[in-house]
Amino acid sequence: MGCFTFIKVMMILFNLAIFLGGGTLLGVGIWVTVDQKSFLDIFGTFSSSVLQVVNVSYFLIVIGSILLVIGFLGCYGAQKESKCLLMMFFSVVLIIFIAEVAAAVVALVYTGLAEMLLTSVVTPLLKEKYGEDDSLTHIWNVTMEEVRCCGLNNYTDFTNSTWYEKYGVYPAPCCNGTHPCNDTLAAQEVVPIAAMAVSMYLYCHLDQK
């Protein structure tokens, strides 16, 4: 198997996975929009809490649709060796990559303001409502366990809080070697860059055939 054939097959399989994942997200988004009750019956109270915070169905529909388009362009373009579809795939991924970089720059510029707003709003909320409001407590417990963090900043967010005064201990997730929940992890841009490189390789190689 030549290098071109191998890359072509991997491009097809990778984008087929993206296409199927996009279809799944789109299906779930439509399901939540059409029949939210059955969705909540299956996935329980946490889903209800999340849906109260953000209308996740429309988010899933948008993301699923984008992934469907990207997966189709990449998979079908590689399978048919279509320069037009490969260039469209490259363009879409490039636009997404540029948008991510722009968002990262904006986030970096306004990090101080965002942290100040979060600290002024979330920290008092944790001190007053954690342990009292079941929905807020459940969402924060799941967040701290999954992200392995403690509060927005650290355990001091719970010092002199309603929870601490009532039980005399910090929440369990704070005792497992955690880090602040507002730590910003570096964006991993390897996947979109690699996707653009592979699509451009296939595109240029077609000129030589």
* Of 29, 40, 46, 48, the residue nearest 146 (C-alpha): 46
Q: Evaluate whether the domain defined by 111-175 bears CATH number 1.10.10.
A: no
Report residue 172: phi and psi, to 5°. Answer: -55, -40
pLDDT at 186: 39
Sequence spans of domains, the chain: 3-103+188-206, 111-175
SS3 179: strand
pLDDT tens string, the chain, 209 residues long: the values are 567 788 888 888 888 988 999 899 898 888 878 876 666 665 554 455 555 444 677 888 888 999 999 999 888 888 888 888 888 888 888 888 888 788 777 777 776 666 676 677 777 877 888 877 777 777 777 777 777 777 777 777 777 788 878 887 777 777 765 444 444 333 445 566 667 677 776 767 666 65
Per the listing, tokens 């915070």 go with 53
Interhelix angle 190-206/56-80, nearest 10 degrees: 30
Handedness of CA 192, 102, 68, 30 (dihedral sign): positive
Q: What is the pTM of this model?
A: 0.53
**For residue 115, what are the CA distances in angstroms to 73, 110, 112, 118?**
39, 9, 5, 5
**For residue 159, what are the CA distances in angstroms to 9, 130, 165, 175?**
56, 12, 8, 14
pLDDT at 184: 37
